[in-house]
């Protein structure tokens, strides 16, 4: 799971390296279309056992998942990989807050303090050379964090998917997300087609796409499936919670990104706030 957190942390820099504003949708089609046949082949027997209700539930979650990836990928094009990895970690704060609101139960004072610390960190992180409004990319990543929260809550509360096979559900979700990307790719004005983007790729771009498809999607998914049955959910959450650290490390060490004093202070506050918030929220929320 630590390796999964590392490759996910590196995914922001990899996506930024192979994606431009006019190739976002094309890259998303290529990334997931490459791994979807493997998932279908691996779980075909269990996939056929899904009921119509389960298929509809997983399909709905897949539409939300597609929206998350669109927001994330457009966001990372317009901000740094470091900012993207740190801002997306606010999902760990947003989810318990949303859950508390749905249950009409106030969060603890410690959790609210942790949330405030994280938000203050994001404000500092996104300032760059001076105190200005966050950029479009930062706001898109923030939207992706909120969409991730919606996805978590829907997954937890949707009765249709509660007892279904996780491999089959994930395959249907990814299939629905690919359908979203394919429809968007066919809309005029959404950028290059997947075929045109693939034809323009050089060796470095194909290596980045292979990393996103095989490591960040296929490998990460199967490791999660394996690990969650052999360790506790709290340990899984703790290890995956290191993803922002790896995103920052990749952006600074490999991407040549620089945060500056305010950015470094903001990054430290985001990491401290999300770690504190995860503990304050308790094992169930984690």
pLDDT tens per residue across span 235-273: 666 677 788 888 888 888 888 888 788 888 888 888 888
User: Does the structure show a pLDDT above 80 at 16?
Assistant: yes
Give pLDDT tens digits for 166-190.
888 889 999 999 999 999 999 988 8
Q: Which residues contact 7 (CB under 8 A, 6 or more apart)?
A: 211, 215, 216, 219, 220
SS3 194: helix
Task: Please return the burial class of 253, using the count of CB atoms within 10 Å of its CB with bins 0-12, 13-18 and 19+.
Answer: exposed
* Greatest C-alpha distance within the chain: 56
- C-alpha dist (Å) from residue 254 to 13, 36, 240: 8, 29, 21
For residues 18 and 241, what is the distance between their CA atoms, to the nearest angstrom? 25
- For 37, what's the count of Cα atoms within 13 Å in the CB-facing half-sphere? 3
Number of residues in the chain: 286
Give me the numbers of helices (H) and strands (E) for the chain, helices first please: 15, 0
* Token code pair at residue 75: 């966001």
Share of the chain above pLDDT 70, in %: 92
- C-alpha dist (Å) from residue 124 to 73, 179, 268: 22, 37, 10
Location of structure tokens 């990393």:
211
Confidence of residue 233 (pLDDT cuts 50, 70, 90): low
* Token code pair at residue 3: 């390796």
Location of structure tokens 């990899």:
14
């Amino acid at each position: 799971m630590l390796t999964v957190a590392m490759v996910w942390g590196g995914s922001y820099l990899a996506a930024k390296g192979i994606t431009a504003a006019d190739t976002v949708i094309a890259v998303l089609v290529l990334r997931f279309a490459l791994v979807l046949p493997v998932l279908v082949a691996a779980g075909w027997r269990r996939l056929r056992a899904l009921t119509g209700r389960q298929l509809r539930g997983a399909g709905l979650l897949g539409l939300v998942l597609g929206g998350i990836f669109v927001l994330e990928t457009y966001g990372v094009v317009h901000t740094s990989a470091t900012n993207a990895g740190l801002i997306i970690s606010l999902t760990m704060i947003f989810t318990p807050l949303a859950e508390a609101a749905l249950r009409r139960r106030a969060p603890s004072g410690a959790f609210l303090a942790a949330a405030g610390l994280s938000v203050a960190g994001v404000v500092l992180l996104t300032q760059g050379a001076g105190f200005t409004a966050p950029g479009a990319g930062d706001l898109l990543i923030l939207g992706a964090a909120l969409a991730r929260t919606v996805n978590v809550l829907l997954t937890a509360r949707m009765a249709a998917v509660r007892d279904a096979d996780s491999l089959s559900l994930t395959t249907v979700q990814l299939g629905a997300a690919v359908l979203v990307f394919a429809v968007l790719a066919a809309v005029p004005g959404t950028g290059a087609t997947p075929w045109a983007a693939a034809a323009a790729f050089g060796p470095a771009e194909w290596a980045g796409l292979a990393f996103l498809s095989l490591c960040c999607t296929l490998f990460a998914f199967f490791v999660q499936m394996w690990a969650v049955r052999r360790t506790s959910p709290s340990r899984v959450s703790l290890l995956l919670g290191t993803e922002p650290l790896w995103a920052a490390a990749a952006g600074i060490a490999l991407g040549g990104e620089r945060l500056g004093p305010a950015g470094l202070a903001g990054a430290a506050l985001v990491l401290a706030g999300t770690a504190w918030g995860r503990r304050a929220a308790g094992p169930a929320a984690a």
